[in-house]
């Protein structure tokens, strides 16, 4: 049977659309308009995974880069987020310590593909979500960080301690740090216990 040219063109477009719907690339999730209809101001373009994966994010997220619907990040990808650095007292040392990393709120705003890469964007994306993030470490230690911590405090995933990337021996490569000195209400046991070192996995509710 001969397919008329117009019908053929239509069929091709439909099959093209189906093919692209099946894709779950980072770029595509980013360029989807949000529920307000405006395009996402989340202009962040993460590089492809090129190094050893440091962090796996699973659970209720929208932006993924593996067949298991997880988002796996290496150091260059983490460093593509705006860097946050501060010096703070810690429960683990007498001297102030310098940490550099990314806002956990930014990483979550990205993974939830909400709106802006900031706390307002995250807050919008958290409508009708409960709970928080279960943070699991190399030693199987885990803690739950409630969503409100991300909105109230500059909680970071630190990838540098005193200017250096962090070895496992020094409780790296990634660790959760609260701004204990800048937001002193976080300098208490409840938040110390959420300051997971050698973190590997975030499970999102």
Ligand X SMILES: Nc1nc2c(c(=O)[nH]1)N[C@H]1C(S)=C(S)[C@@H](COP(=O)(O)O)O[C@H]1N2
178 binds, among Mo ion, ligand X, none (CB under 5 to 8 A by kind): none
18 binds, among ligand X, Mo ion, none (CB under 5 to 8 A by kind): none
**Residue 195 contacts ligand X per CB under 6 A:** yes
Question: Which residue, 176, 204, 201, is CA-closest to 191?
Answer: 176
Stretch that binds Mo ion, among 32-40, 59-67, 77-85, 189-197 (CB under 5 A): 189-197
Distance CA 74, CA 21 (A): 27
**Ranges within 136-175 binding ligand X (CB under 6 A):** 137, 139, 141
> Measured on CA atoms in the order 45, 48, 50, 53, is the torsion positive or negative?
positive
Cβ 121 vs Cβ 106: under 8 Å: no
Per-residue mark of binding to ligand X, 25-64 (x: CB under 6 A): ----------------------------------------
Distance CA 157, CA 21 (A): 33
Would you tell me which residues interact with Mo ion (CB under 5 A)? 193
């Amino acid at each position: 049977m001969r397919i008329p040219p117009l019908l053929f063109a239509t069929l091709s477009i439909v099959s093209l659309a189906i093919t692209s719907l099946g894709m779950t690339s980072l770029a595509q999730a980013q360029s989807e308009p949000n529920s307000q209809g405006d395009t996402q101001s989340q202009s962040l373009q993460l590089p492809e995974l090129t190094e050893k994966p440091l962090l796996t994010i699973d659970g209720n997220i929208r932006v993924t880069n593996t067949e298991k619907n997880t988002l796996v990040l290496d150091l260059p990808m983490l460093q593509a987020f705006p860097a946050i650095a501060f010096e703070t007292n810690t429960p683990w040392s007498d001297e102030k310590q310098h940490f550099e990393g990314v806002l956990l709120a930014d990483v979550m705003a990205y993974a939830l593909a909400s709106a802006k890469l900031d706390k307002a964007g995250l807050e919008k994306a958290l409508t009708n979500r409960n709970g928080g993030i279960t943070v699991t470490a190399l030693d199987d230690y885990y803690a739950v960080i409630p969503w409100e911590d991300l909105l109230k405090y500059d909680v970071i995933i630190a990838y540098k301690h005193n200017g250096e990337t962090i070895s496992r021996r020094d409780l790296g490569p990634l660790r959760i740090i609260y701004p204990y000195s800048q937001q002193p209400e976080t300098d208490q046991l409840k938040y110390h216990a959420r300051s997971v070192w050698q973190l590997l996995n975030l499970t999102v509710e």
